[in-house]
């Protein structure tokens, strides 16, 4: 028997890439092409390993699960445990659907000589798959599968609802521009108390190229007052643009957020472009969304300009 490893690799690479794309479309998540290619490459290499003299433990259930999780992390990242499990569940459901469909088509098109008592045989006569499945086996798996299906696709519905409130945001400060996804939050009523300027919140990681590294650490540790007090000793090109905005934290105590006055903010939502100059960009030290769907929270006042 002759095995063409390059053809097997290419076929599995294309199939893995297609199923990863379907998973991304199903979960309504964005992805980077180079990460998806790396994930498909990892999956295709695992299949090729089956034809190499490698230890048999590499094909056990636990190792297969590790490779599957590695593919998901390579393609979409981790984000949070809940987000990772939902991506993994969607990917496995897509795999099951494709595998079941391929077997079903093969079973329907197979001749009577290839099917004997519910078993599909290869040309060499070796059995490939037992069709008859015990009733107890189905009864045990049907409820977990239904729950799994509902969990994965309920998250898809929630993501669709969230997507309808997302907009493209571009910040302009002199020669610097920063672009990201923003969530239109009608519950955001943060203003500068002195000028009544609306404050749009943005992850400070989007400003890592222009802010000093020490500032990033202080913003993440909520020590922004030390940044303002050290302005006399530390040079910063946008010192006249900095503001300190008070707000109430989760514990209801008054805290301060470092904000920057941009030249303008351009928001694109539903094919409509909105430009605002009276706005402050509040810098948040954490992640506004665990799965990275958006990196800014848009003040509702900006949408009515």
pLDDT class of 150 with cuts at 50, 70, 90: low
**Does 174 lie in the same domain as 157?**
no
**Residue length, the chain?**
305
CB neighbour burial string for 92-104, b if at least 16 within 10 angstroms, e if fewer:
bbbbeeeeeeeee
pLDDT at 81: 79
**Does 122 lie in the same domain as 25?**
yes
Q: What average pLDDT is seen over the chain?
A: 75
Average pLDDT over residues 66-94: 83
The 10s digit of each residue's pLDDT in 254-298 is 778 888 899 999 999 888 888 988 999 998 888 887 777 788 999
Collapse the DSSP code of 188 into the 3-class scheme (helix H, G, I; strand E, B; otherwise coil) and give the result: coil
The two most distant CA atoms of the chain are separated, in Å, by 88
Which pTM value belongs to this model?
0.55
- Name which residue leads in pLDDT, 290 or 299: 299
Whose CA is closest to 131, among 144, 112, 117, 143? 117
Rounded to an integer, what distance in angstroms lies between the CA atom of residue 263 and that of residue 278? 9
pLDDT class of 127 with cuts at 50, 70, 90: very low
Q: Of 139, 163, 187, which marks where a domain is finished?
A: 163
pLDDT at 116: 46
> Quick one: what percent of the chain has pLDDT higher than 70?
70
**Does 157 lie in the same domain as 16?**
yes
**Does 276 lie in the same domain as 189?**
yes
pLDDT at 289: 79
Active-site residues, by number, are 185
Collapse the DSSP code of 130 into the 3-class scheme (helix H, G, I; strand E, B; otherwise coil) and give the result: strand
- Name which residue leads in pLDDT, 286 or 150: 286
Strand order through the sheet with 166-173: 242-248, 254-260, 280-284, 199-203, 296-298, 176-184, 166-173, 264-269, 272-276
Q: By CB neighbour count within 10 A (0-12 exposed, 13-18 middle, 19+ buried), where does 29 fall?
A: buried
pLDDT at 233: 56
**Does 174 lie in the same domain as 144?**
no
**Does 178 lie in the same domain as 70?**
no
Average pLDDT over residues 208-223: 76
- Name which residue leads in pLDDT, 44 or 224: 44
Q: Which letter does DSSP use for residue 249 in this model?
A: -
Q: Of 110, 128, 163, which marks where a domain is finished?
A: 163
Average pLDDT over residues 62-69: 85
**Does 289 lie in the same domain as 170?**
yes
Q: Of 142, 163, 184, which marks where a domain is finished?
A: 163
**Does 140 lie in the same domain as 227?**
no
Give yes or no for residue 39 having a pLDDT over 70: yes
pLDDT at 107: 57
Domain range for 208 is 166-304
pLDDT at 257: 84
The residues that bridge with 156 in the sheet, in sequence order, are none
Neighbours of 121 (CB within 10 A): 15
């Amino acid at each position: 028997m002759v095995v063409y490893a390059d053809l097997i690799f290419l076929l599995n690479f294309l199939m893995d890439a297609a199923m990863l794309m379907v998973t991304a479309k199903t979960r309504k998540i964005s992805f980077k092409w180079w990460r998806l290619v790396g994930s498909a490459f990892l999956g295709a290499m695992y299949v090729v390993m089956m034809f190499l003299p490698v230890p048999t433990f590499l094909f056990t259930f636990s190792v297969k699960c590790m490779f599957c999780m590695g593919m998901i992390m390579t393609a979409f990242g981790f984000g949070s445990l809940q987000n990772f499990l939902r991506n993994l569940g969607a990917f496995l459901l897509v795999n099951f659907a494709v595998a079941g469909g391929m077997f079903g088509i093969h079973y329907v098109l197979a001749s009577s000589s290839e099917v004997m008592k519910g078993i599909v045989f290869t040309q060499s006569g070796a059995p490939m798959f037992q069709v008859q499945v015990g009733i107890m086996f189905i009864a045990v798996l049907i409820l977990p599968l239904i729950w799994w299906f509902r969990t994965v696709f309920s998250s898809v519905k929630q993501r669709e609802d969230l997507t309808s409130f997302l907009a493209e945001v571009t910040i302009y400060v002199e020669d610097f521009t920063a672009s990201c996804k923003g969530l239109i939050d009608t519950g955001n009523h943060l203003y500068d108390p002195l000028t009544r300027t609306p404050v749009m919140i943005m992850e400070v990681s989007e400003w890592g190229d222009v802010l000093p590294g020490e500032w990033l650490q202080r913003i993440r540790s909520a020590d922004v007052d030390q940044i303002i007090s050290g302005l006399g000793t530390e040079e910063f090109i946008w010192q006249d643009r900095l503001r300190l905005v008070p707000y109430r934290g989760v514990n209801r105590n008054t805290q301060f957020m470092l904000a920057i006055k941009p030249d303008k903010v351009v928001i694109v939502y539903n094919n409509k472009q909105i430009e605002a100059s009276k706005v402050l960009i509040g810098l948040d030290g954490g992640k506004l969304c665990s799965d990275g769907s958006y990196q800014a929270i848009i003040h509702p006042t900006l949408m009515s300009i």
